[in-house]
Amino acid sequence: MNQKIVIRPVEKGDFPAWKVLWDGYNAFYGRSGPTALPTEITQTTWSRFFDVYEPMHALVAENAGVMLGLAHFLYHRSTIQLGPSCYMQDLFTIEAARGKGVGRALIEDVYRRAGDAGCQRVYWQTHETNAVAMRLYDQVAEKSGFIVYRKLL
């Protein structure tokens, strides 16, 4: 990185560069080609970032004008605490940026924003095979010990 990593909220004009990151993130988790997300989901996700009534937010990481990563997060209530929680749903950096502080910078900015919003915790999940990311996650957070169950409807 030849300049400082800049973390900022997405802007409407960022769509083309954000979409490259979004497509890379989805491909990483096997959502590409015939299993790609429908365009409607991508368009709706993008529009939610600019809807003041939505609790969903998006950040991007840049260096020298090049978008290197993204983080999407949302705030929600909890039954076990008074303040809101922050769920970081998506975190992704391009392969060339991995191990260079981009993911950490995104996480730290989510922490800061969540704290400013009165959140008492930030949490996320990753796939058990995502060993590279987990090396970072083990440095910046603690494993909760919970296992995620789901049923698609």
User: What does the pLDDT look like over 123-139, one tens digit per residue?
Assistant: 999 999 999 999 999 99
Q: Hey, what are 29's tokens?
A: 């988790």
Q: Identify whether the C-beta of residue 136 lies closer than 8 Å to the C-beta of residue 104.
A: yes
Percent of the chain with pLDDT over 70: 99
> Residue 3's pLDDT is what?
73
Predicted TM-score (pTM) of the model is: 0.94
CB-count exposure of residue 15 (10 Å: 0-12, 13-18, 19+)? middle
